[in-house]
């Protein structure tokens, strides 16, 4: 499964997203007073896992044996992954990750892909487009509009 890494340079912290061609579960937002709704290490993951199970019940295309435990493990593994500061959210086909400044973003994003694969798509190989090159938000079209390399047609 091919994924795309995208960087959002206008964000004050190093924010990246990974776009998947297959569905991801909708993330539950933490319910804290004055919270931005980001998931970080200080969450009660057992509560978030249960909320994710109820949010995604009947809506997520992947059938899970024990959804609460799977979602809890997924969130804990992501939140405690070295280099991940927070998970600001996601959509049905992407996840946003705030990466610590002195970590290699490509390596962190590849590890996030591995975690997604282990929890929801075991046995499927996940690899990034463009050899792992991180695309700048808003410049995705430039990659598709570049002319093909000239071919040598001498005979």
Q: How far apart are CA 31 and CA 78, in angstroms?
A: 19
Let me know the angle formed at the C-alpha of 136 by 123 and 4, rounded to the nearest 5 degrees.
15
pLDDT tens digits, residue range 99-130? 999 999 999 999 999 999 999 999 899 999 88
CA end-to-end distance (rounded Å), the chain: 38
Q: Residue 84 is part of which domain span?
A: 2-145
Residue 152 included in any domain = no
Domain count, the chain: 1
Average pLDDT value over all residues in the chain: 84
In a domain, 6, yes or no: yes
In a domain, 150, yes or no: no
Task: Flag whether 124 is in a domain.
Answer: yes
How distant, in Å, are the alpha carbons of 83, 114, 128 from that of 77?
12, 11, 20
pTM: 0.82
Q: What is the 3-state composition of the chain as percent helix, strand, coil, each rounded to the nearest 5?
A: 35, 20, 45
pLDDT tens digits along 35-54:
556 788 777 787 888 888 98
Cα separations in angstroms, 99 against 1, 12, 41, 65, 105: 23, 12, 13, 31, 6
In a domain, 125, yes or no: yes
Identify whether 154 is part of a domain.
Answer: no
């Amino acid at each position: 499964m091919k994924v795309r890494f995208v960087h959002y340079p206008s964000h004050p912290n190093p924010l990246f997203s990974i776009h998947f061609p297959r569905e991801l579960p909708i993330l539950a937002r933490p319910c804290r007073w004055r919270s931005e709704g980001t998931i970080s290490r200080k969450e009660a993951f057992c509560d978030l896992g249960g909320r994710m199970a109820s949010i995604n019940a009947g809506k997520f295309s992947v059938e899970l044996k024990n959804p609460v435990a799977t979602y809890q493990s997924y969130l804990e593994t992501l939140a405690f992954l070295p280099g991940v500061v927070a998970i600001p959210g996601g959509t049905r086909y992407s996840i946003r990750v705030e990466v610590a400044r002195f970590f290699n973003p490509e390596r962190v994003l590849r590890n996030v892909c591995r975690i997604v694969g282990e929890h929801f798509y075991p046995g499927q190989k996940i690899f990034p487009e463009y050899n792992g090159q991180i695309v700048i938000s808003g410049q995705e079209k430039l990659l598709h509009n570049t002319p093909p390399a000239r071919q040598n047609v001498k005979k």
